[in-house]
Amino acid sequence: MTSNTLNNSNPDTKSLGGSNQKGSGPTKGAAASKWVWNDTTAAWILLTPLLIFFAISVIYPLFETVRLSFYDIRGVAKPVWAGFANYQKLFSDANFLNAMKATFQWTIASTLISVGIGWALALMCSLAPSQTLVFRVMIFAAYGVAEAVSGFMWVGIYRPDAGLLNSILNGIGLSSWAQPWLGDVNTALWAIIVAYVWTQVGLPLMTCFASIQAVPRNLHEAAFIDGASPIKTLWHIVMPLSLPGVRVAIFINLLASLKAFDLIFVLTGGGPIRSTETIGYFMYRESMQNFKLGYGAASTVILLLAVLLVSIPVIVKRTGDAK
């Protein structure tokens, strides 16, 4: 490795061919005629601006959050060392325990439902790729709508007085089912999950569809020649081969829903009686509204651990692959 840093030659230049035997004669000659940086210097020149941003917005917050989680901080007063007190308090705080439960419920439910629907849609769309293009875009469009906006849209659907959902229920004679969806502790979380699924389905639809499109055409043809029906082809060939897309979608959805904040902020603000607070929202409430920064930081560390738990298998795999 170190020999490469002595001149600017890329190790790949050694494979240039017969005329360039043993080392990099022409390269060196050309390089000597002009002043050029070696790889190491060039790499650091190219990377430094990026690393500054990265350090400020990832590295520093990472360590600082962990550090602050061991302090008792009230507003702008001087932080007081608190040891594990914040963590002990968290695990005896009914609101936090509920936030953990809500996060778990939210993450599992929204991932399973949106990936399930998205995958099923992708499989159906793959039967007629060109005819369903418009439909795919229509469904995918919801993924491009800001959660702040979709929150507003769903308030219009859920509101108790003249919401679309209650009106439909009344219209088809199920008035007894109508209720204040976002105002009831029993339904509020599920109501937000449904709204969230609405925004998310587009992603698994697209990733699954993309990996189905990558299924070699001749596999379809072989199945066709063998007399398999489209549905059979779908079941035995396309579905197994679309699994990469499904895995990506599950992974992205899990991570995104663990961090959930926007939709809850707009739809319920964590209510009623803090029943729809996820960990991500709990942290916002404790640190930005109750000004308990240390306490909020401790809950962020818990969130971080949850995120790492989900992603470590992927990280390990990717890290093993990295060259």
* Residues in 245-284 at the binding interface with other proteins, rule: CB under 8 A: 245, 247-248, 255, 258-259, 261-262, 265-266, 269, 280, 283-284
- Is residue 5 involved in binding other proteins (CB under 8 A)? yes
Nearer to other proteins, 25 or 83 (CB): 25
**Residue of the chain from 216, 219, 288, 290 that contacts other proteins (CB under 8 A):** 288
- Is residue 241 involved in binding other proteins (CB under 8 A)? no
Q: How far is the CB of 230 from other proteins (least distance, A)?
A: 5
Instruction: Say which amino acid occupies 244.
Output: P
Residues 6+ away with beta carbon under 8 Å from 141: 202
| Distance between CA atoms of residues 271 and 275, nearest Å | 6
Q: How far is the CB of 107 from other proteins (least distance, A)?
A: 12
| Distance between CA atoms of residues 301 and 279, nearest Å | 10
- Is residue 21 involved in binding other proteins (CB under 8 A)? no
Residues 6+ away with beta carbon under 8 Å from 155: 163, 182, 266, 267
| Distance between CA atoms of residues 96 and 277, nearest Å | 8
Q: How far is the CB of 193 from other proteins (least distance, A)?
A: 15
- Is residue 321 involved in binding other proteins (CB under 8 A)? yes
Which ranges of 127-242 does DSSP label H, i.e. alpha helix? 133-144, 147-158, 164-171, 188-200, 202-213, 217-225, 230-233, 239-241
Nearer to other proteins, 184 or 261 (CB): 261
Question: Binding segment for other proteins among 95-103, 175-183, 184-192, 295-303 (CB under 8 A)?
Answer: 295-303
Q: How far is the CB of 213 from other proteins (least distance, A)?
A: 8
Q: Where are the beta strands (DSSP E) in 222-321?
A: none
Nearer to other proteins, 189 or 306 (CB): 306
Q: How far is the CB of 37 from other proteins (least distance, A)?
A: 6
Nearer to other proteins, 245 or 275 (CB): 245
Nearest to 144 by CA among 54, 213, 205: 205
Nearer to other proteins, 82 or 125 (CB): 125
- Is residue 162 involved in binding other proteins (CB under 8 A)? yes
213 φψ region: left (φ > 0), alpha (ψ -120 to 50), beta (else): alpha
Q: How far is the CB of 293 from other proteins (least distance, A)?
A: 5
| Distance between CA atoms of residues 41 and 185, nearest Å | 59
**Residue of the chain from 80, 108, 164, 185 that contacts other proteins (CB under 8 A):** 164
- CB-based contact 80:71 (threshold 8 Å): yes
Q: How far is the CB of 82 from other proteins (least distance, A)?
A: 15
Nearer to other proteins, 97 or 128 (CB): 128
- Is residue 147 involved in binding other proteins (CB under 8 A)? yes
Q: Quote the DSSP letter at residue 278.
A: -
| Distance between CA atoms of residues 101 and 175, nearest Å | 31
70-129 residues near other proteins, rule: CB under 8 A: 76, 121, 124-125, 127-128
Nearer to other proteins, 90 or 125 (CB): 125
Site string for other proteins, 181-220 (x = CB under 8 A): -----------------x--x-x--xx-xxx--x-----x
- CB-based contact 146:199 (threshold 8 Å): no
Residues 6+ away with beta carbon under 8 Å from 276: 102, 188, 189, 192, 264, 267, 268, 270
Residues that contact other proteins, how many (by CB under 8 A): 125
